Structures are given as C-alpha cells and as structure tokens.
Amino acid sequence: MSDFFNNSDISQQQAEQVVSETLNNCDDGELFLENSKSESLVLDDGKIKNTSFDSSLGFGFRAVQDDKTAFCHSNIISKKSLNDASQNLVSNMNNGSNKVQKQSNPKRTNVKLYEDKDPIENKPFKEKVELLKKIDDYVRQKNPNIKQVTASFFGEHQSVEIIKSDNQVYKDQRPLVRFNVSVMMERNGKKETGSYGTGGRMDYENYLGSDNWKTICDEAIRQAEVNLDSKPAPAGEMKVVLGPGWPGIILHEAIGHGLEGDFNRKKTSAFHNLVGQKIAHENVTVVDDGTIASRRGSLTIDDEGTPTSRNILIENGILKNFMQDRMNAKLMKVEPTGNGRRESFEYAPMPRMTNTFMINGNHTQDEMIKSVDKGIFAVSFGGGQVDITNGKFVFSCTEAYEINNGKIGAPLKGVTLIGNGPDILTKVSMVGNDMKLDPGIGTCGKAGQWVPVGVGQPSILVDQITVGGTSI
C-alpha cells in the first residue's frame, strides 16, 4: 500500500480509478506522486553560514494525445484536488483527436541502481557540522596562504510513485548527496580560488567515511595553488587537448542537448536530419547511460516509469539515436530510452540526459600532448553557454596549461573555448584510453527545469578550436 494516501481522504484504489477514467481516451499519461526532502549546510571561515531544510509532497497529473499534453499539479493529495485535476485534463483533451493510440506501459525491471537509504536521516546533523569544522581546520593547516575556506553538504531523498491508466504502479526511492570544498589563497597580493566536489546516489558515509573527504580538500588546494602561478592566456585558433572526466561538460552542452528527442522531432536541432550520417571522427563514440550504479545521473526508472538504458548516440562517428521520453518516441516511431525526466511533481517530463560520455579510444594523453607544437591543455571547466539551434558554445576553463613543442608549460588564466558542437566533433583527431566520469557534481538546466546529471570522456585532441584569452 502506498504511503502517499495515508493522510488523505482518498485511497490508492480510488486514485487509480480516477487515473483510469481520466486517461481512458488518451494515448498516454500518468499520475506522478512525489515526496521529497532536502538539506544543505554551508560552513564559511569556520562558522556555519547557512543551513536549510525543505520538504515537498504533491502530484503531477498528465494526459497525452498525439503531440498535445495537458498537465496539472498540486501540493495537496486529496479527493478534491485529484478530481479537479482530472476535470481539467479531460476538458483540455476533448478538443483533441478522437483516435486513441494507446501506448503500452513500460516494462518492469528488477535492477536497482542505488540503495533505499535516506542520507538526511542516516547521519545526525551534529556529526555533519563537526565534520565541516574538521574540514576547515584541515585545509588551513595544509597551506598558510589560505585566507578563506567554504565547505558544504547537500543531501536529498526523493520517493516517487507513478500510476498508469491500467492501475500499474512504478516506485523508486532516490538518495542524492553532494560535498564541495572551495578555498581562496593569497600570495604576494594575488588572490586565486580552487574548488572541488563529489556526489552521487549514495549515503554521505560512502564519500566521507575513512577520511575520504581529505582527497576533496587536497584537490581544491591544488587548484588554487595552480591558479596562483597562472599567466594570461593566449587567444586565437589552435589545437586543444581536453582532459578526461569533467571536460565532458562540453560534450553534454554542445552536443548532448542537440540529441534530445523533442528538439529533433520539432527539427530545431542541428542534428535532426542526420541519423545514419557521419557527424564525427571515426574514433568518436558517445553514449547516454542511466544504468551506472550510484551515479548522480542514474535512475532505476525515469519519471514516466521507463527503465533507463545504455543508449548509443554516436557510434564510430555515425549518428545512431536520440534520447527519448514516451511522447516523442511515439511520435518519431521509435522506442522510449528511459530519458523522460522532470525536476519535480510540478513539471511535466521531457527528454533529458542522464550520464552522457564519450567512450575510450586507443591513444594516450602523452601522445596527444607530444603532437601539439603550440596549443592548450584544458583540464577543468566552469560555466558555459550553448545555442541549441546551431550548437554554438562558449566555455570558460578553471584549469588550463599552455602546450609548447609537445610539452605542458605554465598554467593559464582566463581561457575560454569557442566553437560549435557539430563542428568540434569533426575535428577530434585523437581519442584517449583514459576515460573518466566526472566526480558527481553535474546539474543540467532545460526549459526552467534542473536535474542531476553525469558527464565524462577520455582525453581528446581537437585539431582546431577558437581560444579566447587575455593576451595575443
């Protein structure tokens, strides 16, 4: 029996009846029930600067017919709220087609990708505060030039149930945590920062037990030290070696969004008519995989009840597939891929990435560096922007180095990479054998909705890309 109706004047059986009656003349739809809670703790300069706790409970009710969607949501689960939502959906669907093409319900999976743990409840608040203070002490003792330390925890637990029209119910319990450390360092009047974090669908203890947090602190310190030694970046067209792991954010933004089903069905993506065609170097294979255990972007089922999958998007340079939710998959006459996602019950689902990455090639990073006479080695990235209609992007590097005569040189400050996704894919001439996923910190925005995601790649060599810098 569902916990969502324990304190309601409507039973689960009655709710299932409302869903079936509402969606009787629709192609698809669902009642999405969510109970979630989240917390954050931020320590700044040895003191707890901010703590917060939020909880939400509610439903999103959706009806789908052809390419038309009607959607209602409420933070009250009651007989009246469900019946009111039902009436609204029915009245909106009455103007649609009378021809119903029912979609079959998602196949069930017994594979759970994360444990049913509540990270907020499993570690007492006092212990989290004490550990944050311990982190502050540790970082300050590592380097006398450190002037500011900020450390934070974020925890979330989300319970969802999805009721389909024939009383099929899909359930998931989703933990999520993130830990981040930022430092500001000053030397000879110059100030620089470094930041590093980790996260995933686990308990806090999986990341912070046995002093694992020290690795995160050490990396934030190292980045700040590197930035203190940086010099102004050059500008112009040049070769760029992108490091493994987090630099896959470029792949996510500049290419990944263009491979989501809705943009391609509507023909607003630069890739919409290129399935089966070569769009990248033959060494490039890109997948979206929501089935990797405990990863930040993974889901046992998506927000429509479809099991997530390993979806090959680009194989040996050939565009193979798009990422699909149920509605866009039906309209494009393909199978859903488990990419129907929503930020919360207040939103309808849409095609979204899970963990998107490029798989290994055959080259080493050393081979790439040695092949570059003059260029950039980009290790980590901050913010970026992309235009989905043409794939044009701008990304800023938080850690980068010059390459001179096949050797890594001085660290650089103010590096930005400018290009477009379809073009950059054709200019990847070497793909490394050192693929890494990001440490578990990605969050993706689309149409006002934010969801956790993962990115990754091996080292790659891009033969030509525009580098924006501060010197010529």
pLDDT of the chain, 472 residues: tens digit per residue? 578 999 899 999 999 999 999 999 999 999 999 999 999 999 998 999 999 999 999 999 999 999 999 999 999 999 999 999 999 999 988 765 567 788 888 988 878 999 998 999 988 899 999 999 999 999 999 999 999 999 999 999 999 999 999 889 999 999 999 999 999 999 999 999 999 999 999 998 877 777 889 999 999 999 999 999 999 999 999 999 999 999 998 889 888 999 999 999 999 998 999 999 999 989 999 999 999 999 999 999 999 999 999 999 999 999 999 999 999 999 999 999 999 999 999 999 999 999 999 999 999 999 999 999 999 999 998 877 777 677 788 889 999 999 999 999 999 999 999 988 888 888 999 999 999 999 999 999 999 999 999 999 999 999 999 998 775 4
| 162 neighbors 170 (Cβ within 8 angstroms) | yes
Q: Are both 258 and 202 inside the same structural domain? A: no
Number of domains, the chain:
2
The letter for the amino acid at 94 is: N
Q: Are both 215 and 243 inside the same structural domain? A: no
State the pLDDT at residue 471.
58
Which among 304, 294, 312, 289 has a CA at the least distance from the CA of 341?
304
Q: What's 469's DSSP letter?
A: -
Q: Are strands 392-404 and 416-420 parallel, antiparallel or unpaired?
A: antiparallel
Angle, in degrees to the nearest 10, between helices 79-93 and 12-22: 10
State the pLDDT at residue 211.
86
Q: Which residues contact 80 (CB under 8 A, 6 or more apart)?
A: none
Which among 350, 294, 345 has a CA at the least distance from the CA of 322?
350
What phi, psi does 201 have (nearest 5°)? -90, 75
User: Rounded to the nearest 10 degrees, how much is the dihedral formed by the CA atoms of 86, 89, 91, 93?
Assistant: -140
* CA atoms in the 13 A half-sphere facing the CB of 293: 5
Q: Are both 252 and 213 inside the same structural domain? A: no
Which H or E element spans position 160? strand 146-163
| 356 neighbors 248 (Cβ within 8 angstroms) | yes
Q: Are both 246 and 148 inside the same structural domain? A: no
Which H or E element spans position 401? strand 392-404
Q: Are both 199 and 251 inside the same structural domain? A: no
Which among 214, 181, 239, 246 has a CA at the least distance from the CA of 399?
246
Q: Does residue 370 form part of some domain?
A: yes
Q: Does residue 183 form part of some domain?
A: yes
State the pLDDT at residue 424.
87
The strand pairing partners of 218, in sequence order, are: none
Residue position matching structure tokens 């300050």: 140
Q: What's 251's DSSP letter?
A: I
Q: Does residue 41 form part of some domain?
A: no
| 400 neighbors 379 (Cβ within 8 angstroms) | yes
Q: Does residue 246 form part of some domain?
A: yes
| 308 neighbors 290 (Cβ within 8 angstroms) | yes
CA distances from 424 to 250, 254, 417 (A): 10, 9, 11
Q: What's 300's DSSP letter?
A: S
Q: Are both 274 and 407 inside the same structural domain? A: yes
| CA pair distance 256, 238, nearest whole angstrom | 24
What phi, psi does 84 have (nearest 5°)? -60, -45
| CA pair distance 271, 278, nearest whole angstrom | 11
Q: Are both 261 and 334 inside the same structural domain? A: yes
Q: Does residue 3 form part of some domain?
A: no
Q: Are strands 355-358 and 350-351 parallel, antiparallel or unpaired?
A: unpaired
Q: Are both 208 and 243 inside the same structural domain? A: no
Q: Which domain holds residue 253?
A: 236-468
| CA pair distance 283, 461, nearest whole angstrom | 11
Q: Are both 293 and 405 inside the same structural domain? A: yes
How much of the chain is helix, strand and coil, in % rounded to 5?
25, 40, 35
Q: Are both 380 and 462 inside the same structural domain? A: yes
pTM value is 0.95
| 319 neighbors 264 (Cβ within 8 angstroms) | no
Q: Does residue 407 form part of some domain?
A: yes
Q: Token pair for residue 359?
A: 């798989």
Q: Are both 191 and 305 inside the same structural domain? A: no
Q: Are strands 236-242 and 460-468 parallel, antiparallel or unpaired?
A: antiparallel
Q: Does residue 257 form part of some domain?
A: yes
Q: Does residue 22 form part of some domain?
A: no
| CA pair distance 314, 59, nearest whole angstrom | 36
Q: Are both 264 and 315 inside the same structural domain? A: yes
| CA pair distance 269, 265, nearest whole angstrom | 9
Q: Token pair for residue 89?
A: 């959906």
Q: Go through 224-242 and write b for each residue having 16 or more CB atoms within 10 A of its CB, e for each that does not.
A: bbbbbebeebbbeebbbbb
